[in-house]
Structure 1
Amino acid sequence: MSVAKSLSRIHPAQIRISVRLLVLILFTVGNGGVANAQQSDAKNTPPAVTISAPEPLRDLLKTHFQLPMTQLVDETDRATFMRRARKQISELLATEGYYTPTMTLHSATPHAIPGTIPVLEVIPGPRTLVTEVDIEFKGDLATDESGRRARIEKLRAAWPLGAGQPFRSPAWEEAKAILLSSVAAEDYAAAEIEESKAEVDSDSHKARLLVIVDSGPAFRFGNLEIKGLSRYDPTLITGLAPFKVGDSYRRDQLLSFQTKLQNLPQFNSAAVNIKPDAVTHQAAPVEVVLSEAQSQRVSVGAGYSSNTGGRGEINYTNNNFLDRALLLNGGLRLEQKRQTLSTTVESVRDQAGRWFSLGAGAERTFIQELETVREKVGISRNQLYDKTETRFALNWQREDRAPKGGLHQINETLVLDAQLRYRSVDDPLFPRDGMVTEVRIGGGSKQALSDQNFLRTYIRHQFWYPIGKRDVLLLRGELGYTFAPSRFGIPQEYLFRAGGIQSVRGYAFQHLGVREGEAIVGGRTMATGTIEYNHWFTREWGAAVFTDVGDAADSVRQLDLAVGYGGGVRWRSPVGPLALDLARGQRDGKLRLHFSIAVAF
């Protein structure tokens, strides 16, 4: 259909409505543009009055006091402005302890230079100081008993707004909140401030403070009242409680109990609290409100690493295996240089942070012309306490190793293994300050299902140190040594190779080791180290320069530390830290790109 025919079908009334609509749209857009321009001009236009005040108070007044944006053309405008200024600025300065300020508007004179802006001079006057603090207690805490008297003295000594300090409203409110929180943290869940008073003498610039705290009765824990539990036995919850019925109330124990429940994979959320009802203080019920998570889940993921190439994986999780709240994890991971099939069954952590796990798996690798196929089963006892994790394991392993041009062997071993890891960082995903230390020792014997006698030792320490607001210095070192008559008969997991990401960049993954035929195999000793400097241009993007050194060999004397150095890009991605590094290996002079990223679906 032609345009002319299309237009001929339009009714005249429709044309009139369309024209009106078009005019209305243009008028709205035009006015919107004018309004936006006016708002932009208002933002860019300097105020008609400036403030002169002591430096500590200038920012407070600029932030919270609205200056006029239009000129004060006559005495009426100036009087109106000064009434508002005296009221609002006096209230602002009172929060900082200044109760007798004076304000003067220095207006432009008839002979002043055109465009001169009037100045509002603010003189805060003397600052009011705290001269007397009276903290009184009522309720059970006020009982004349040595333990309670000692606690009262401790509470009074911890009061942060003492005599001689400036009286500020925020500090006054904060001090009361800290005091009440300290009282309510132990025994007295229903504590409250019965009375608080600050008497300010503006003439003498002195403040006298009075706080009366009613502790109420001493509370003890009662029975657990569990809500939202359907699939699991209540003993899963009761076994994690750090208190018993009749124990004295402690707020930190409630919070610890709640954190343990929140960390369980069986629940989406958990909330623990008691009702501060004085009637039930001798056995206050503890309410536990839970939201159960889906018990089974299948996830897939993909990624890439310059160490092992492209990766695809599928994982299955069951949080209620055998209907006993056991955690079953199974997964298949396919990488270009490594393929792994594994499964583990874990118990729920107990009150002390202990749990047991049973696992089995099979893995094939082809790295640096060394092909390995291993089957493995093991059982371990694990514990996480604060920042320290320990693991004691008994593992049996069978490995078929086939180095190209080297000796083909099948090695079996039964290893008793111990591991300790200490982690103290400000952010577990993007650390900027802190450290991680790992120590591991394990071995096997010919007398106990092993083809070789050996004892493997390993230590790693990594340290982050913040420099200024944007920079971070990273230091890393690791040492390993396997005591054994020979490396033959020992699976590769208990020997050492180096090179690649998180090792010595500038060299291929596990390229540093012992040459056997055309392959690189693990040696009995290893040492590596890193120094890296990161600068963050924005919250998400940064750059790094680094130097890595290290080597792996069959003896300490044979170690010949290789050096790699370069730089790279850092990105705090939504799925985790990403590093793209270009490094030069000093041994061969080649440049190598090191990169890794993983995405879960």
Structure 2
Amino acid sequence: MAAPAQAVTRGCWPTGMDWYRAVWAVLLSAALAGCASAPSADAAPPEPSPSAFTLDIDAPPALAALLQQHLDAQRLRAVPDLTRSELLRIETTLPTQARDLLATQGYFSPLIQVALSPPEIQPPRLHLQVQPGPRTTIEAVDLRLDGPDPERTERLVTEVRRQWRLPEGAYFTQAAWDEAKREALRTLQQRDFARARLVASRADIDPERARATLHLHWDSGPAIRLGPAQVEGAQRYPDEQALRWAERAGLRAGLPYDETLLLAAQRQLTQSGLYDSAFVLLADDGPPDALPVRVQVREAPRQRLQIGLGLSTDSGVRLSAEYTHLRLPGLDWRLDTRLRWTQKDTIVGLEGISPLDGQGWRQRLGWQAEAQRDEPRTRTQQWRWTREQPGLRLDRALFVQWDTSTERRAGAAPERASGLGAGWTWTRRAFDDLDDPRHGYGLVAELGAGWTRTPEQRPYARARARALLLWSPADDSRGQRLALTLEGGAVWAAAGARVPASLRFWAGGDGSVRGYAPRSIGAPGDGGAPQAARLLALASLEWQRPWRHDGALTPWELALFVDGATAGDRWSARESALGVGAGLRYRSPVGPLRADLAYAVRDRRWRLHLGVGFVF
């Protein structure tokens, strides 16, 4: 489309007050023209043009809607002054068009009658009567794949059959046939054979028996192996950084082609924080046994400031500010600073993160201070050095940290504690989808040990583990599943040793025991108020089932759940809590949106929990 021409005025441009007068003159002229052209409020709306003829369709409702939408006769009704001969021509062509449309839905032997009203009836009427007859079903499916490795191609054909949309006994429709062909080719191209192509396809229809036999023939093309990766678009960061992040997702030269590897590399690059977007795809040309990989990146701004305002059911009003510098001059480290204020706490943090080294490890050096305003009023600080190897599926890290805490209870002297410790963490994510998983499992383990420093030196050890299992029956077409969460933590130290509060455990709130406020489940304390516990055990069981409408899955889901936890400094003196409830889920592009209404059995009150996304 050509750009609109621009008028060029030669002479003197208005200056001073003349410039304002010229602008106001243009605006006033436009307003007057709009008023002149606008219809009067009292004016009657124009009458619709009469139809040249009336079309009556007598057919089952679903087929009648199809015919009304796509028949040419519907469009021709708007043509004025149709002659009798033109109407007779429409009557003659109508059965052929209707038969073609019915064939797309699997009706290949319909009975169709068309009648045109006598000339004396005005406006003329066309009556279309349809008896669709039996609907065609799939009798057999013939799938064939030619390729260099018969054993591998046979496995691929088996996989295509497993996911095939039109199995024997299913109704044949043209839309389903086209979609099944596209999905089958996509399945073949996802692994090993990126250049697979459809050689021939045929649907043999037997109208008398209302049966269809489907034939598909593909050529796999050569088996593809990944070649060297080539980075495009990098400016501030060296190409090695993009390649190292892609390798953390498993992308390496010499591996058989797997589309999931390329998608994982894209995700890993965007999650690194260095790139706003990333695309990882095969090059157009190259040897099949070493086909180059193109890594296209768009770097994020070097500096970014984010200010947020929110509302949480757990902590009330939330204000936040985050400043990020992705490449500190002279150091090349990333700097993250954050401030978060809520009605219940304030958090201030500062962290430096190094680039990935050749083995995929990086350093983190951070400080964080937190002030909790609910009872007991707690202030904590933590200095932490971490050497970690991040990844989408597997994270591991070694750390050394210094913790301090001050706990104040009404009518009691403040309790101060500090400790120096070291430890190891390990995280495994084996979900089918990292944003909105349907099945799989996740595991987190942490082990640490150290010495308390205030008020006296005592050794301590700390362990924490968390597991999430998503399970759905393989033969259940309704999509229901179970989510089981188990969590446990323990701090071992002498009875009189003061372990910093940031090393002990709380329960309650979204992601823990729903129905309770955060930090409301802990060890029994003096005066009845809970305190951070040395021992914690938590379990949650949730049943999830998608909603269906007219037999099709919708993005909405129903959930029923029961959560429970027990916490204390000794198992003989602990506090337990149970929460039950129901919730709604909505599968959005940014992840699942959650709304849970939970009842706290211990406190005998209801609480609403809202959340978005999936994080493990």
TM-score by length of 2: 0.67
Q: Is contact 1:331-1:341 (8 Å) kept? A: yes
Which ranges in structure 2 are unaligned for 5 or more consecutive residues?
A: 1-30, 119-124
Q: Is contact 1:390-1:419 (8 Å) kept? A: yes
Q: Secondary structure at the match of 2:101?
A: helix
Q: Is contact 1:411-1:490 (8 Å) kept? A: yes
Q: Residue in 2 aligned with 1:101?
A: 110
Q: 1:513 is aligned with what amino acid?
A: A
Q: Does 1:232 align with 2:237?
A: yes
Q: Is contact 1:370-1:519 (8 Å) kept? A: no
Report the more deviating stretch, 370-379 or 119-128: 119-128
Q: Does 1:396 align with 2:402?
A: yes
CA-atom RMSD in angstroms: 5.6
Cα offset for 1:548? 6.2
CA distance in 2, matches of 1:379, 1:249: 34
User: Given the superposition, is the C-alpha separation of residues 569 and 225 from structure 1 closer, same or farther in structure 2, using an over 3 Å criterion?
Assistant: closer
Q: Secondary structure at the match of 1:261?
A: helix
Q: Secondary structure at the match of 1:88?
A: helix
Report the more deviating stretch, 511-520 or 368-377: 511-520
Cα offset for 1:296? 1.3
Report the more deviating stretch, 87-96 or 568-577: 568-577
Q: Residue in 2 aligned with 1:522?
A: 532
Q: Does 1:342 align with 2:355?
A: no
Q: Does 1:25 align with 2:38?
A: yes
Q: Is contact 2:417-2:499 (8 Å) kept? A: no
Q: 2:239 is aligned with what amino acid?
A: P
Q: Is contact 1:194-1:214 (8 Å) kept? A: yes
Which protein has greater RCO, CA pairs closer than 8 Å, 6+ apart? Answer: 1
Q: Does 1:300 align with 2:307?
A: yes
Q: 1:521 is aligned with what amino acid?
A: Q
Q: Residue in 1 aligned with 2:5?
A: none
User: Given the superposition, is the C-alpha separation of residues 412 and 219 from structure 1 closer, same or farther in structure 2, using an over 3 Å criterion?
Assistant: closer
CA distance in 1, matches of 2:33, 2:532: 83
Number of residue pairs matched by the alignment: 551
Q: Is contact 1:232-1:325 (8 Å) kept? A: no
CA distance in 2, matches of 1:486, 1:370: 22
Aligned mate of 2:461, from 450, 454, 459: 454
Cα offset for 1:368? 0.8
Q: Is contact 1:496-1:525 (8 Å) kept? A: yes
Aligned mate of 1:83, from 87, 92, 107: 92
Q: Does 1:482 align with 2:491?
A: yes
CA distance in 2, matches of 1:468, 1:210: 27
User: Given the superposition, is the C-alpha separation of residues 593 and 396 from structure 1 closer, same or farther in structure 2, using an over 3 Å criterion?
Assistant: same
Cα offset for 1:342? 1.7
Cα offset for 1:294? 0.5
Cα offset for 1:468? 12
CA distance in 1, matches of 2:463, 2:68: 65
Q: Residue in 2 aligned with 1:287?
A: 294
Q: Secondary structure at the match of 1:384?
A: coil
Cα offset for 1:172? 4.6
Report the more deviating stretch, 313-322 or 492-501: 492-501
- 1:358-404 per-position Cα deviation (integer Å, ceiling 9, x unaligned): 32223333431343343332314244343x65555332323344444
- 1:248-285 per-position Cα deviation (integer Å, ceiling 9, x unaligned): 555444444334334332222222334444x7556544
Q: 2:418 is aligned with what amino acid?
A: N
Structure-to-structure mapping, 1:255-266, within 5 angstroms: 255-266=263-274
Q: Does 1:333 align with 2:340?
A: yes
Q: Is contact 2:263-2:280 (8 Å) kept? A: yes
Structure-to-structure mapping, 1:362-441, within 5 angstroms: 362-386=369-393, 389-404=395-410, 405-406=412-413, 408-420=415-427, 422=429, 424=431, 428=435, 439-441=444-446
- 1:474-509 per-position Cα deviation (integer Å, ceiling 9, x unaligned): 876654443333263211123234455543635684
CA distance in 2, matches of 1:586, 1:442: 32
Q: Is contact 2:57-2:64 (8 Å) kept? A: no
Q: Residue in 2 aligned with 1:13?
A: none
Q: Residue in 2 aligned with 1:494?
A: 503
Aligned mate of 2:280, from 272, 283, 289: 272
Q: Secondary structure at the match of 1:26?
A: coil
State percent identity of aligned pairs. Answer: 21
Q: Is contact 1:439-1:458 (8 Å) kept? A: yes
Aligned mate of 1:510, from 513, 520, 527: 520
Cα offset for 1:307? 5.0
User: Given the superposition, is the C-alpha separation of residues 494 and 435 from structure 1 closer, same or farther in structure 2, using an over 3 Å criterion?
Assistant: farther
Structure-to-structure mapping, 1:78-227, within 5 angstroms: 79-80=88-89, 82-105=91-114, 120-124=129-133, 127=136, 133=142, 135=144, 137=146, 141=147, 148-155=149-156, 158=160, 160=164, 168-174=173-179, 176-178=181-183, 180-181=185-186, 184-185=189-190, 189-194=194-199, 196=201, 213=218, 221-227=226-232
User: Given the superposition, is the C-alpha separation of residues 382 and 228 from structure 1 closer, same or farther in structure 2, using an over 3 Å criterion?
Assistant: closer
User: Given the superposition, is the C-alpha separation of residues 311 and 121 from structure 1 closer, same or farther in structure 2, using an over 3 Å criterion?
Assistant: closer
Q: 2:447 is aligned with what amino acid?
A: G
- 1:90-123 per-position Cα deviation (integer Å, ceiling 9, x unaligned): 22233345444331248999xxxxxx99561223
- 1:430-460 per-position Cα deviation (integer Å, ceiling 9, x unaligned): x696687564443424499963423344546
- 1:400-432 per-position Cα deviation (integer Å, ceiling 9, x unaligned): 44444156333323142435464748784xx69
Q: 1:493 is aligned with what amino acid?
A: S
Q: 2:335 is aligned with what amino acid?
A: L
Q: Is contact 2:138-2:167 (8 Å) kept? A: no
Q: Residue in 1 aligned with 2:319?
A: 312
Q: 1:488 is aligned with what amino acid?
A: A
Q: 1:515 is aligned with what amino acid?
A: G
Cα offset for 1:231? 0.8
User: Given the superposition, is the C-alpha separation of residues 483 and 213 from structure 1 closer, same or farther in structure 2, using an over 3 Å criterion?
Assistant: same
Report the more deviating stretch, 528-537 or 392-401: 528-537
User: Given the superposition, is the C-alpha separation of residues 62 and 492 from structure 1 closer, same or farther in structure 2, using an over 3 Å criterion?
Assistant: farther
Q: 1:489 is aligned with what amino acid?
A: R
CA distance in 1, matches of 2:211, 2:596: 62
Q: Residue in 2 aligned with 1:113?
A: none
Q: 2:339 is aligned with what amino acid?
A: L
- 1:305-363 per-position Cα deviation (integer Å, ceiling 9, x unaligned): 56555443321112234577643212233345433322223345689986553322233
CA distance in 1, matches of 2:540, 2:383: 32
Q: 1:232 is aligned with what amino acid?
A: Y
Q: Secondary structure at the match of 1:442?
A: strand
Q: Residue in 2 aligned with 1:145?
A: none
Q: Residue in 1 aligned with 2:22?
A: none
TM-score by length of 1: 0.69
Q: 1:233 is aligned with what amino acid?
A: P
- 1:536-585 per-position Cα deviation (integer Å, ceiling 9, x unaligned): 99999999998765553332232343466789999999999586979677
Q: 1:90 is aligned with what amino acid?
A: R
User: Given the superposition, is the C-alpha separation of residues 406 and 547 from structure 1 closer, same or farther in structure 2, using an over 3 Å criterion?
Assistant: farther
